[in-house]
A and B are shown apart, each in its own frame.
Chain A
């Protein structure tokens, strides 16, 4: 029995500590927001945050996660947002910009975006492309996802050209 800090709350987990965090989240804890796109760390649909940084949960042993704080896109950030992840703001930007089509990449993209904008206030479009390179999307061609992230810089409206 171990204690995982997930989205600001401590939860009990019984899975073996070598189990990929993705499986623990989805199967033991019922948080299916990170997705099993490839199970080998090449699509990014399983991305979660470990202490605010992006990780591929399909390749992260539970044991490593137990030593940090995990955030998924179901994390409530509400008022105060102590972890500073800006998740609600990012979700709204994605929705406004048309950055969501089938949505399977969206949870991972949102979390990767959170890590990116916590590091850089106004990333250039090229920096955003690099910041999201671990997250594959097949529907959008990335364009409106990049627009959404750009719009997070102060005062900018989503949309491009």
Chain B
């Protein structure tokens, strides 16, 4: 049916806005499978606008103040992308800042949250590669800390992500970057590449390279990472590594933004740019306009 009329609010759904994580988890447990948690609720509301059914109970997390606390290496799940894009422009966490600034547009970033980007199952979550590059853990509502990689593979049942943590602090010598390719300014991505590298005396000591939207789920490119360790921190070397290792052995994704064939073609320039930006900026440089996009 082509008539798009939202279900939201028209079928007697109930709105809940708990003030603590504990209240939220209790509520979700009590309400059971007919309930869903939401950070900014944008994705749920968008699906309702497409005519998709909406849960009877919408548990909005926006009142949970603890969810917005941020310290170095620790970010609350309810931090909005608006806050993130104004965050640190240095070090490894720069990757997250760049990813946030390139996501959607300002009106979406006002309400979209870090936790929502990670946990809602939204297909092209632009922050996740940066979290992978940071080697971040997701902090869950029952106290468990789960590496983001594992969360992506296994899910978290009905637990909530309350925050993310990582160890690549400002003074640790890491440099991060995230680069996105989309068709238009605010489109979902064709591809996202996020990297974090540590360089000493012009040699790459450690490297993390993660991509999103290219494959079925965001993931680290471990073969490329391994080949970068010990390599010169130079453009030619990066190029050689990418050429030699390549992107074979995985199924590129077809979706509304792009064919897999096209994704296969742009994977290399995307990852290349992310690496070159990270190397160019080093731990202390600030990104320039245009660095965050291919």
Knowing A67-B17, A126-B289 are in contact, say whether A53-B110 is a contact too (CB < 8 A).
yes
Partner of A54, one of B17, B106, B185: B106
CB <8 Å contact, A56 and B108: yes
Hey, which chain A residues are within 8 Å of B10, CB to CB?
Answer: 16, 19
Whose C-beta in chain B lies nearest to the C-beta of A115? B106
Contact of A134 among B46, B54, B82, B106 (CB under 8 A): B106
Residues of A within 8 A of B41 (CB): 59-61, 64
Which of B5, B8, B107 has the most C-beta atoms of chain A within 10 angstroms of its own C-beta? B107
Closest to A57 in B: B107
Which residues in A have their C-beta under 8 angstroms from that of B8?
18-20, 61
Q: Mark A108-124, 1 if CB is under 8 A from B, else 0.
A: 00001001100000000
Q: Looking across the interface, which residue of chain B has its beta carbon closest to that of A42?
A: B186
CB neighbors of B among A15-64 (8 A): 15-20, 23, 39-41, 44, 47, 50, 53-56, 58-64
A103 to B5, CA, bound (A): 24
Q: Decide: B58 and A39 in contact? CB cutoff 8 A.
A: no
Q: Does B12 contact A (CB under 8 A)?
A: yes
The reply to whether A41 and B14 form a contact with Cβ atoms under 8 Å apart is no
Closest to B289 in A: A126
B15 and A17 form a contact (CB under 8 A) = yes
Contact among A20, A116, A135 for B45, CB-based, below 8 A: A20
Type the 1/0 row for B166-199, where 1 means its CB is closer than 8 Å to any CB of A. 0000000000000000000110000000000000
B28-60: contact bitstring with A at CB < 8 Å (1 yes, 0 no)? 000000000000011001100110001000101
Q: How far is the CA of A160 from the CA of B17 in the complex (A)?
A: 48
Q: Nearest-CB distance from B27 to chain A (Å)?
A: 14
Interface residues of B in 86-138 (CB under 8 A from A): 104-108, 110-111
Q: Which of these, B58, B60, B63, B107, contacts A47 with CB under 8 Å?
A: B107
CA distance A40 to B46 in the complex (A): 6
A131 interface residue (CB < 8 Å to B): yes
B13 at the interface (CB under 8 A from A): yes
Encode contact with B along A121-138: 1 for CB under 8 Å, 0 otherwise. Answer: 000001101110111000
- Bound together, the chains give a CA A29 to CA B135 distance in angstroms of 48
Report the minimum CB–CB distance from B165 to chain A (whole Å): 27
Q: Which residues of A contact B60 (CB under 8 A)?
A: 61, 63-64
Point out the residues of chain B lying under 8 angstroms from A47, CB to CB. 107
Q: Which of B4, B15, B289 contacts A61 (CB 8 A)?
A: B15
A19 and B45 CA atoms in complex are apart in Å by 9
A18 to B9: give the CA distance in the assembly, Å: 4
A52 to chain B: closest CB distance in Å? 10
Contact, CB under 8 Å: B105 / A134: yes
CA distance A59 to B62 in the complex (A): 15
Tell me whether B82 and A67 are in contact (CB under 8 A): no
Asked if B45 and A54 make an inter-chain contact with CB atoms under 8 angstroms apart, the answer reads: no
Does B6 sit within 8 A of A, measured CB to CB?
yes
Chain B residues positioned under 8 Å from A135 (CB to CB) = 107
Q: CA–CA, A41 to B107, complex, Å?
A: 9
Residues of chain A within 8 A (CB-CB) of B45 are: 20, 41, 58-61
Let me know if A39 and B4 touch, CB within 8 A. Answer: yes
Instruction: Name A residues whose Cβ lies closer than 8 Å to a Cβ of B.
Output: 15-20, 23, 39-41, 44, 47, 50, 53-56, 58-64, 67, 112, 115-116, 126-127, 129-131, 133-135
**Interface pairs A-B: 8 shortest CB-CB:** A19-B9, A134-B105, A17-B15, A63-B15, A16-B9, A54-B107, A18-B9, A59-B45
The contact sample of 6 A-B pairs, CB cut-off 8 A, is: A18-B14, A60-B41, A61-B8, A61-B60, A131-B106, A135-B107
